[in-house]
């Protein structure tokens, strides 16, 4: 294929027609229809960023079964493929299983996502690939209660207070990172950042630090 599809954004050995790929029948990783639809949406929005691995020995796919199914659902004709050698059928099989299982051993720190997502948005949170994830940008980061915000802003409506608190949280994250770059741990950095914002609010117009 002479032209690389616009949805491919990764290194690869060859762009291959999906009809020519052979999924491994012994692949134990089962993809639900919901997951396939999710994969299809993510790679459509964020492109394919990891090539499918095919064994030079067996000619079968080793990794990327979900990507292939997502690409087919998107009605894409071609996908990026990396052809690799394996020392034995046993090691080929082991890599196929490990590729899925090793990722499951990691623990997703959702609290950390909530703390950092304000720095990386806005974007559709579906791109995170977490169907049940709910953004709670003020988790562990609320500087003021609703009553305190009302004292600061006067008789503003709830939406104004929510937006103000959200901006304060972004400022808090920014200041936290400054302290953490100095080698201070996260909890201490959070405390110092919060104190510095409160001092700023007390010394000048409340809205000036986030305007």
Domains and CATH numbers, the chain: 14-104 (3.90.1530.10), 110-203 (no CATH)
pLDDT of res. 108: 79
Q: What is the pLDDT of residues 175-195, one digit of tens each?
A: 777 887 888 887 787 788 777
> Which distant-in-sequence residues (6+ apart) come within 8 Å of 21 by Cβ?
52, 54, 61, 68, 79, 81
pLDDT of res. 188: 84
Taking the C-alpha atoms of residue 45 and residue 7, their distance in angstroms, rounded to an integer, is 9
Taking the C-alpha atoms of residue 34 and residue 131, their distance in angstroms, rounded to an integer, is 9
Taking the C-alpha atoms of residue 29 and residue 31, their distance in angstroms, rounded to an integer, is 7
Residues lower than pLDDT 70 in the chain: 1-2, 115, 117-123, 134-166, 200-211
pLDDT of res. 149: 54
Residue 72's region, left for phi above 0, alpha for psi from -120 to 50, else beta, is: alpha
The side-by-side arrangement of strands in the sheet containing 61-63 is: 14-17, 78-84, 52-55, 61-63
Taking the C-alpha atoms of residue 189 and residue 180, their distance in angstroms, rounded to an integer, is 6
Backbone φ and ψ of 115, nearest 5°? -75, -30
Residue 10's region, left for phi above 0, alpha for psi from -120 to 50, else beta, is: beta
pLDDT of res. 189: 79
Whether the Cβ atoms of residue 96 and residue 24 lie closer than 8 Å to each other: yes
Taking the C-alpha atoms of residue 153 and residue 209, their distance in angstroms, rounded to an integer, is 14
């Amino acid at each position: 294929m002479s032209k690389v599809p616009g949805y491919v954004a990764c290194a690869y050995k060859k762009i291959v027609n999906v009809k020519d790929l052979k999924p491994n029948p012994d692949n134990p990783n089962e993809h639900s229809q919901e997951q396939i639809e999710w994969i299809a949406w993510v790679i459509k929005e964020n492109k394919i960023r990891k090539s499918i691995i095919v064994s030079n020995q067996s000619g079968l796919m080793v990794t990327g079964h979900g990507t292939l199914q997502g690409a087919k659902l998107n009605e894409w004709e071609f996908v990026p493929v990396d052809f690799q050698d394996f020392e034995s059928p046993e090691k080929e099989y082991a890599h196929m299983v490990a590729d899925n299982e090793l990722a499951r051993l990691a623990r997703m720190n959702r609290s950390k996502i909530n703390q950092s997502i304000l720095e990386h948005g806005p974007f559709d949170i579906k791109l995170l690939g977490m169907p049940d994830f709910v953004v709670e940008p003020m988790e562990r980061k609320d500087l003021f209660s609703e009553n305190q915000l009302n004292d600061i802003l006067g008789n503003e409506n709830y939406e104004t207070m929510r937006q103000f608190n959200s901006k304060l949280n972004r400022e808090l994250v920014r200041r936290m990172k400054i302290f953490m770059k100095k080698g201070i741990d996260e909890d201490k950095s959070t405390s110092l950042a919060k104190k510095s914002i409160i001092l700023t609010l007390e010394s000048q117009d409340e809205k000036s630090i986030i305007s």
